[in-house]
Amino acid sequence: MNRLIDAVTILGFGILGIIIMALGYKIFDWIIPADVNKELEKGNLSVAIVIGAALLGVAYIIGQVLSS
């Protein structure tokens, strides 16, 4: 029974983390004045690297908050 509770807890925190990551991307897209999606469709590697770095930062913060 304990393992089931642990599995459900892990699943719940995983879903919560994904939702917060999506919210972090939306906030990042809202803050940046350029149209990020258009730049990604054009294949702009610099924009992809910046978005990746921003998402890694958000993921690190989410991980620290959820682990405490």
Residues spanned by the domain of 53: 2-67
Q: Is the pLDDT of residue 63 over 90?
A: no
When pLDDT is averaged across residues 28-55 and rounded to a whole number, the result is 88
Tell whether the model's pLDDT for residue 37 goes beyond 90.
no
Q: What is the pLDDT of residues 3-16, one digit of tens each?
A: 899 889 889 988 98
- Number of domains present in the structure of the chain: 1
Average pLDDT of span 64-68: 79
CA distance 48 to 8: 33
- Quick one: 6 exposed, middle or buried, by C-beta within 10 A (0-12, 13-18, 19+)? exposed
- The answer, yes or no, to whether residue 50 has pLDDT greater than 80, is yes
Q: What is the pTM of this model?
A: 0.70
